[in-house]
Chain A
Amino acid sequence: MRPSRALCSTALVVIGLLFWSARVPAAGVPKDEAAIRHALSRLTFGPRPDDVEKVRRMGLSTWLDRQLTPSKIDDHAAESRLRPSPTRPERFDSMMEARRYGRESVEVLAANKITRAVYTERQLEELLVDFWFNHFNVFAGKGRTGLYVAEYERDAIRPHVLGKFRDLLGATAKSPAMLFYLDNWLSADPEAAERIGNRRGPNQQAGNARRRGLNENYGRELLELHTLGVDGGYTQKDVIEVARAFTGWTIAPPDGGRGRAGRAGGRFQAGIVEDGEFRFVPALHDRGDKMVLGQQIRAGGMEEGQQVLDILALHPATARHIARELAQRFVSDTPPDALVARVAKRFTDTRGDLREVMKTLITSPEFFAADARNAKVKTPIEFVASAYRATGRDLSEPRPVLRALQQLGEMPYMCQPPTGYDDTADTWINAGALVARMNIAQQIAGPQQAATIGGPEFQRR
Chain B
Amino acid sequence: MTSRRIFLKSGAMTMLSLGFAPSFLARAAAAAPARKRLLVAIFQRGAVDGLNMIVPVGEADYYRLRPTIGVPRPGAGGGDAAIDLDGFFGLHPKMTALKPLWDNHSLAIVHACGSPDATRSHFDAQDYMETATPGVKATRDGWLNRYLRASGEATPLRGVAIARQMPRTLQGPAPALAFPAVDTFAVRGGAAAERDFQQAFEHASDPLLTGGAREAFEAMRVLHSATSGEYRPGSGVDYPRSPFGRALQEIARIAKADVGLEVAFAESAGWDHHVNEGSVDGQLAGRLDDLSRGIAALAADLGDRMADTIILTMSEFGRAAAENGNAGTDHGHGNAMMIVGGPVKGGAVYGTWPGLRPEQRFEGRDLAVTTDFRDVFSEIVTKHLGLASDSASRVFPGFTSGNALNVIRA
Contacts and interface: CB of A to CB of B under 8 A. Distances in A.
B68 A208 contact: yes
Given A220-B120, A447-B189, A456-B209, A435 B216 contact: yes
Given A419-B123, A442-B189, A430 B212 contact: yes
Contacts of B330: 215-217
Given A186-B275, A409-B165, A457-B204, A438 B327 contact: no
Interface in A427-455: 427-436, 438-439, 442, 447, 450-452, 454-455
Interface in A200-234: 206-217, 220, 224-225, 230
A333 B119 CA distance: 24
B210 interface: yes
Contacts of A436: 164, 179, 184
B197 A215 contact: no
A94 B54 CA distance: 38
Contact of B189 (A215, A429, A450): A450
Contacts of B189: 439, 442, 447, 450
B222 interface: no
B204 to A, nearest CB: 3
A456 B363 contact: no
Contacts of A451: 193, 196-197, 199-200
Counting chain B CB atoms within 10 Å of each CB, which of A409, A434, A455 scores highest? A434
A432 B325 contact: no
Interface string B122-136: 111000000000000
B275 A432 contact: no
Contact of B185 (A220, A419, A428, A435): A435
Given A209-B275, A212-B325, A431 B193 contact: no
B276 A207 contact: yes
A85 interface: no
Contacts of A190: 325
B45 interface: yes
Given A216-B331, A455-B204, A432 B123 contact: no
A452 B120 contact: no
B164 A213 contact: no
A319 interface: no
Nearest to A430: B166
Given A427-B165, A431-B179, A209 B213 contact: no
A213 B269 CA distance: 26
Interface in A175-209: 183, 186-188, 190, 206-209
B204 A439 contact: no
Given A426-B171, A432-B185, A230 B119 contact: yes
A9 interface: no
Contact of B276 (A209, A216, A225, A419): A209
A433 B269 contact: no
A432 B68 CA distance: 44
Interface in B360-384: 363
B188 interface: yes
Given A190-B325, A215-B274, A432-B185, A456 B46 contact: no
Nearest to A435: B216
The binding surface of chain B is classed by DSSP as loop
B318 to A, nearest CB: 15
A50 to B, nearest CB: 25
B286 interface: no
A78 B331 CA distance: 44
B367 to A, nearest CB: 15
B interface bracket (residues with beta carbon within 8 Å of A): 35 or more
Counting chain A CB atoms within 10 Å of each CB, which of B165, B206, B330 scores highest? B165
B389 interface: no
Contacts of A435: 179, 185-187, 216, 220
Interface residues of A, number: 56
A225 B122 CA distance: 11
A407 interface: yes
Interface in A406-429: 407-409, 416-419, 425-429
B219 interface: yes
Contact of B201 (A429, A450, A455): A455
Contacts of B179: 431-432, 435-436
Interface string B217-236: 00110000000000000000
A96 B123 CA distance: 34
Contacts of B140: 426
B201 A456 contact: yes
B87 interface: no
Which 6 A-B pairs rank lowest in CB-CB distance, beginning with the nearest? A213-B325, A432-B179, A409-B164, A455-B200, A456-B204, A431-B216
Given A212-B326, A220-B121, A426-B140, 9 more contacts: A207-B276, A210-B327, A215-B326, A432-B164, A432-B177, A432-B185, A434-B209, A436-B164, A451-B200
27 contacts: A183-B274, A187-B325, A190-B325, A208-B68, A209-B328, A212-B326, A215-B326, A220-B331, A236-B120, A377-B208, A407-B164, A417-B46, A419-B123, A429-B209, A430-B177, A431-B178, A432-B179, A432-B216, A433-B164, A435-B220, A436-B179, A436-B184, A439-B188, A452-B200, A455-B204, A456-B200, A456-B204
Interface of B: 45-46, 68, 119-124, 140, 156, 164-166, 171, 176-180, 184-189, 193, 196-197, 199-201, 204, 206, 208-210, 212-213, 215-216, 219-220, 269-270, 272, 274-276, 324-328, 330-331, 363
Interface of A: 183, 186-188, 190, 206-217, 220, 224-225, 230, 236, 239, 377, 407-409, 416-419, 425-436, 438-439, 442, 447, 450-452, 454-457, 459-460
